Amino acid sequence: MPDSKKTRKTPDQFRSFRWLGPDDLRSFGHRSRLKQMGYSADDYAGKPVIGILSTWNELNPCHTHFPQRVQEIKRGVWQAGGFPVEIPVMSLSETFMKPSAMFYRNLLALETEEVLRCYPIDGAVLLGGCDKTTPALIMGATSADIPAIFVPAGPMLKGNWQGTTLGSGTDAWKYWAERCAGHLDECAWRGIEDGIARSMGHCMTMGTASTMLCVAETLGLTLPGASSIPAAHAAHSRMAELSGRRIVEMVFEDLKPSDILSPRAFDNAITVDMAIGGSTNAIIHLIAMAARAGISLPLDRFDEISQRTPVIANLRPSGQYLMEDFYDAGGLPGLLQRIGASLHLDCPTVNGKTLGQNVQGSPVYNDEVILPLQKPLSTAGATFILRGNLAPQGCVIKPTAADAKLLKHVGPALVFKDYADLKARIDDEKLDVTADSVLVLQNAGPLGGPGMPEWGMLPIPRKLLRQGVRDMVRISDARMSGTSYGTCVLHVSPEAAVGGPLALVKDGDLIELDVPGRRIHLRVSDADLARRRQGWAPPQKPYARGYAWLFAAQCTQAHEGCDFKFLHAGRATPEPDIY
Ligand code: FES
């Protein structure tokens, strides 16, 4: 909601006026170069310059429709009296980027902040959706703190194979296990490959992309309902155009991220993350995003909110349906209306109304997809925080996606020192493993991975798959895809690569998992752990230069959000001088 104390901006108060307005040599240069591009003064003079930050490239399958959406956003900006300019920024393709898209989240955040600062941009449209693009764009725009609106990529259509509905990621893992167990031939496997991703848009399960876009909408950074619209739906184009119109007004109102992002807004976002059965990745991103707004989110806040929030989105991987069903059932506005009593409804949003005003009267059309509060998927939220001598700074688990029988478990550790070791041995027929073993992966965290890859859903050994085993307790300092499932303890902090207790686990050590008691315990005495620590040496850091060196030097641990220390703190950077 616009601050009533703020007066409506006049064109000479726009940032861009400093570039385009003055009668001096520098401004002459800026204006003449706009004319070089074919614009006349009527196109831009006295108008807010709107930067459309597009995370499109030809290796990001989730954003293939962005060139068209940019045109639709531009249409809205022109209609409302703004001057739109497209600013391509790095695309974080979850599918293709290695070692992981997470490794580059902070680079996109840095780029976002700096392009918004260095160019004559008065307001920004942030066009993203594939997993890390959402937190990165929001982190950068929050630090730049100019008016900004988010346009979510939208989920792709449901997958289909021989009449069976397929969900991104979730069903790939599921059918791969069947293939490894010998239950699926190559022809069937190719059929799944053909049908699992069949339109533009991001993963359509409640993975990280869907979660983070629901979070962005709940924070108040998108138009109401924007995050649920399938990418291929005509309503998605209309939402893009409306967002273009709205950002122009936001510039006049001077409605900035700092007016919208508050501790209460982040509590709302955590509540929704829990109610939708959101991705575990959201915890890391929310901590980092909040920190950019100067708000501290301790891990325990997630557990507190989780305890009082039922999971009511019946979506894979926790539930049954997919994002297209969610949209048809009423989408996020319907869900927000249903959990309204748990939300701070007076929080402002980009359209100038409160969250409560936006969702008031929003219907739910299908109680199977958005469940009634009295019939939730789970009475507690999607993510629990565990602590113990194995994770002094905490770790996370998604119990709704785990086998309930394993939530209290004691078993002997089977340790893999890194992913290469896991890959080399996991399917060895002689591997000393049973269904009761606890698979432990070391050195897959923020610095160990590096970039905390999504390796946390460790594969079940092939010989156990053939015996019918489909879930085991798995522990790592890695993340897992929001589309994954299983009894996977993730984000163990501190990570093994910096000498966290995870680095000291040995084969055969008994590990106790007690999810209801929020405990993860290594049954090894403190004295033995101290002895082991003396023999521990940190892994070699292979990067001596470049971005990877910067990452290794600056990335914080999982419980701190994995942002770079130098982006996380410090005084606001001033506007650039123009001489
Ligand atoms: Fe882009 Fe899943 S690969 S959202």
Question: Residue 3: is its pLDDT beyond 70?
Answer: no
Between the CA of 204 and the centroid of ligand 1 the distance, in Å, is 9
Between the CA of 130 and the centroid of ligand 1 the distance, in Å, is 5
Question: Residue 2: is its pLDDT beyond 70?
Answer: no
Specify the residue with its C-alpha closest to ligand 1, atom 2: 203
- Give the separation between CA 287 and CA 271, rounded to whole angstroms: 14
Neighbours of 42 (CB within 10 A): 8
Ligand 1 atom closest to Cα of residue 209: 4
Ligand 1 atom closest to Cα of residue 129: 4
Tokens found for residue 110: 């840095």
- Give the separation between CA 52 and CA 150, rounded to whole angstroms: 10
Split at pLDDT 50, 70, 90, the class of 17 is: very high
Between the CA of 156 and the centroid of ligand 1 the distance, in Å, is 10
Specify the residue with its C-alpha closest to ligand 1, atom 1: 130
Between the CA of 8 and the centroid of ligand 1 the distance, in Å, is 39
Task: Count the residues in the chain.
Answer: 579
Q: Does an H or E element contain 123, and which?
A: strand 123-128
Amino acid in the structure at residue 503: A
Residues 46-56 pLDDT 10s: 999 999 999 99
Tokens found for residue 138: 């929001």
Tokens found for residue 552: 């290794």
Between the CA of 387 and the centroid of ligand 1 the distance, in Å, is 30
Ligand 1 atom closest to Cα of residue 169: 2
- Mean pLDDT across the stretch 157-161? 96
Between the CA of 75 and the centroid of ligand 1 the distance, in Å, is 27
- Mean pLDDT across the stretch 166-195? 92
> Taking Cα atoms as reference points, which of 256, 263, 262 lies closest to residue 6?
256
Residues 234-246 pLDDT 10s: 999 999 999 999 9
Ligand 1 atom closest to Cα of residue 62: 1
Between the CA of 375 and the centroid of ligand 1 the distance, in Å, is 30
> Taking Cα atoms as reference points, which of 575, 573, 554, 576 lies closest to residue 105?
554
Ligand 1 atom closest to Cα of residue 63: 1
Inter-residue contact 311 to 400 (CB < 8 Å): yes
- Give the separation between CA 441 and CA 415, rounded to whole angstroms: 6
Helix, strand, coil % (nearest 5) of the chain?
40, 15, 45
Name every residue whose Cβ is closer than 8 Å to that of residue 108 and which is 6 or more positions away in sequence. Answer: 55, 89, 90, 92, 132, 133, 136, 137, 140
Between the CA of 378 and the centroid of ligand 1 the distance, in Å, is 26
Neighbours of 464 (CB within 10 A): 19
Q: Please, which residues bridge with residue 31 across strands?
A: none
> Taking Cα atoms as reference points, which of 180, 181, 172, 213 lies closest to residue 484?
172
**CB burial of residue 40 (10 Å; 0-12, 13-18, 19+):** exposed
Ligand 1 atom closest to Cα of residue 94: 3
Q: Please name the residue that has the structure tokens 């806040």.
A: 301
Ligand 1 atom closest to Cα of residue 481: 2
Between the CA of 305 and the centroid of ligand 1 the distance, in Å, is 27
- Give the separation between CA 381 and CA 52, rounded to whole angstroms: 35
pLDDT in the model for residue 161:
95
**Residues above pLDDT 70, as percent of the chain:** 99
Between the CA of 298 and the centroid of ligand 1 the distance, in Å, is 27
pTM, to two decimals? 0.95
Q: Ligand 1, residues 95, 100, 171, 206: which to mutate, most atoms within 8 A of Cβ?
A: 95
Ligand 1 atom closest to Cα of residue 61: 1
> Taking Cα atoms as reference points, which of 411, 399, 459 lies closest to residue 435?
411
Q: Ligand 1, residues 55, 56, 104, 131: which to mutate, most atoms within 8 A of Cβ?
A: 131
Residues 332-380 pLDDT 10s: 999 999 999 999 999 999 999 999 999 999 999 999 999 999 999 988 8
- Spell out which residues line ligand 1, taking CB within 6 angstroms: 62, 94-95, 130-131, 168, 202-203, 207, 209
- Give the separation between CA 272 and CA 221, rounded to whole angstroms: 14
Ligand 1 atom closest to Cα of residue 131: 4
Task: Compute the chain's Rg from CA coordinates.
Answer: 24
Between the CA of 94 and the centroid of ligand 1 the distance, in Å, is 5
Residues 462-510 pLDDT 10s: 999 999 999 999 999 999 987 788 999 999 999 999 999 999 999 999 9
Q: Does an H or E element contain 169, and which?
A: none
- Give the chain's mean pLDDT: 95
